[in-house]
Structure 1
Amino acid sequence: MDNPDLIVSVVVGDGEAETGPTATAWHGYKFIDPAESGAIFPIIHVNGFKISNRAIYGTMDDLEMAALFTGYGYKVRFVEDLANLDNDLAASLQWAVDEIRAIQKAARSGNPIIKPRWPLIVLRTPKDLSGPKHLRGQFIEGSFNSHGVPLLNANKDDEEFAPRPEINTIIPEDASLRMGQRKETYNGYQPLDVPDWKKYTVKKGTQDSCMERIGEFLHDVIEANPKTFRIWSPDELISNKLGAVLRERGRNMQWDPSPVSPTLASSKSCRTGLFPSYESFMGIIHTMMVQYAKFMKMAREVPWRNDVSSINYIETSTWARQEHNGFSHQNPSFIGAVLNLKSSIARVYLPPDSNCFLSTIAHCLRVKNYINLMVGLSLPEEAERHCIAGASVWKFASTDEGVNPDVVLVGIGVEMTMEVIAAVALLRKKVPELRVRVVNVTDLMILAPHSLHPHGLTEEAFNTLFTEDRSIHFNYHGYPLELKGLLFGRPSLDRVSIEGYNEEGTTTTPFHMMLCNRTSRFHVAAAAIKGGTVVNPKVAVVDHELVSGMLHEAESYKKYAFENGEDVEGV
Structure 2
Amino acid sequence: MTAQTPGSLHEGGELGYTLSHATGAILDQPEQIAFAVVGDGEAETGPLMAGWHSTKFINPKNDGAVLPILDLNGFKISNPTLFARTSDEDIEKFFEGLGYSPRYIENDEIHDYMAYHELAAKVFDQAIEDIHQIQKDARENGRYQDGEVPAWPVIIARLPKGWGGPRYIDWAGPKYDGNGMPIEHSFRAHQVPMPFSSRNMATQPEFEEWMLSYKPEELFNADGTLKEELREMAPEGDMRMASNPVANGGVDGSNLKLPDWTAFANPITHENRGKLLPETNDNMDMNVLSKFFAEVAKMNPTRFRIFGPDETMSNRLWEMFKVTQRQWMQVIKTPNDEYISPEGRILDSQLSEHQAEGWLEGYTLTGRTGVFTSYESFLRVVDSMLTQHFKWIRQASAQKWRKDYPSLNVVSTSTVFQQDHNGYTHQDPGMLTHLAEKKSDFIRQYLPADANTLLAVFNRAFQDRSKINHIVASKQRVNNGLRRKKLKSLRLKALQSSIGPLLLRRAKTLISSLPQLVQNLRLRLWQPFI
TM-score by length of 1: 0.68
Q: Counterpart in 2 of 1:180?
A: 242
Residue 95 in structure 1 maps to residue 129 in structure 2: no
Specify the code of the residue in structure 2 equivalent to 1:412.
R
Taking a change above 3 Å as real, the CA distance of residues 355 and 71 of structure 1, as seen in their structure-2 partners, is same
Counterpart-to-counterpart distance in 2, 1:101 and 1:239: 38
Residue 249 in structure 1 maps to residue 339 in structure 2: no
| 1:430-453 CA-partner distances (Å, limit 9, x unpaired) | xxxxxxxxxxxxxxxxxxxxxxxx
Q: Counterpart in 2 of 1:36?
A: 62
Residue 111 of structure 1 deviates from its aligned partner by 2.1
Taking a change above 3 Å as real, the CA distance of residues 389 and 77 of structure 1, as seen in their structure-2 partners, is closer
| 1:436-487 CA-partner distances (Å, limit 9, x unpaired) | xxxxxxxxxxxxxxxxxxxxxxxxxxxxxxxxxxxxxxxxxxxxxxxxxxxx
Contact preservation (8 Å) 2:100, 2:152: yes
Residue 418 of structure 1 deviates from its aligned partner by 4.7
Residue 127 of structure 1 deviates from its aligned partner by 0.8
Residue 174 of structure 1 deviates from its aligned partner by 2.8
Residue 222 in structure 1 maps to residue 297 in structure 2: yes
Taking a change above 3 Å as real, the CA distance of residues 138 and 242 of structure 1, as seen in their structure-2 partners, is same
Residue 416 of structure 2 is aligned with which of 304, 319, 326? Answer: 319
Contact preservation (8 Å) 1:349, 1:373: yes
Residue 173 of structure 1 deviates from its aligned partner by 3.2
Residue 21 in structure 1 maps to residue 52 in structure 2: no
Specify the code of the residue in structure 1 equivalent to 2:448.
P
Residue 163 of structure 2 is aligned with which of 126, 129, 133? Answer: 129
Counterpart-to-counterpart distance in 2, 1:283 and 1:358: 24
Residue 253 of structure 1 deviates from its aligned partner by 1.4
Taking a change above 3 Å as real, the CA distance of residues 385 and 210 of structure 1, as seen in their structure-2 partners, is same
Q: Counterpart in 1 of 2:373?
A: 276
What is the count of residue pairs matched by the alignment? 421
Matches within 5 A, 1:303-318: 303-318=400-415
* 3-state SS of paired residue (2:378): helix
Q: Counterpart in 1 of 2:174?
A: none
Matches within 5 A, 1:44-63: 44-63=70-89
Specify the code of the residue in structure 2 equivalent to 1:312.
N
Matches within 5 A, 1:486-497: none
* 3-state SS of paired residue (2:327): coil
The higher radius of gyration belongs to 1
Kindly, what percent of the aligned residue pairs are identical? 31
Matches within 5 A, 1:340-355: 340-355=437-452
Contact preservation (8 Å) 1:312, 1:373: yes
Counterpart-to-counterpart distance in 2, 1:118 and 1:390: 44
Residue 117 of structure 1 is aligned with which of 151, 157, 179? Answer: 151
Specify the code of the residue in structure 2 equivalent to 1:235.
D
Q: Counterpart in 1 of 2:315?
A: 240
> Is there any run of 5+ residues in structure 1 with no aligned partner, and where?
392-407, 426-509, 512-519, 522-553
* 3-state SS of paired residue (1:26): helix
Taking a change above 3 Å as real, the CA distance of residues 50 and 563 of structure 1, as seen in their structure-2 partners, is farther
Counterpart-to-counterpart distance in 2, 1:299 and 1:27: 30
Taking a change above 3 Å as real, the CA distance of residues 202 and 9 of structure 1, as seen in their structure-2 partners, is same
* 3-state SS of paired residue (1:121): strand
Residue 86 in structure 1 maps to residue 117 in structure 2: yes
Matches within 5 A, 1:111-510: 111-113=142-144, 114-135=148-169, 136=171, 137-151=180-194, 153=196, 157=201, 158-159=204-205, 160=207, 162-163=210-211, 164=214, 165=216, 173-175=234-236, 176-188=238-250, 189-204=253-268, 205=272, 206-207=276-277, 208=282, 209-260=284-335, 261-264=338-341, 266=343, 268=345, 270=363, 271-377=368-474, 378-386=482-490, 388-390=492-494, 411-413=504-506, 416-421=507-512
Specify the code of the residue in structure 1 equivalent to 2:487.
A
Specify the code of the residue in structure 1 equivalent to 2:505.
I
Residue 280 of structure 1 deviates from its aligned partner by 1.7
> Is there any run of 5+ residues in structure 2 with no aligned partner, and where?
1-26, 172-179, 221-225, 347-362, 475-481, 496-500
Matches within 5 A, 1:512-527: none
Aligned-residue RMSD, C-alpha: 3.0
Residue 17 of structure 1 deviates from its aligned partner by 0.8
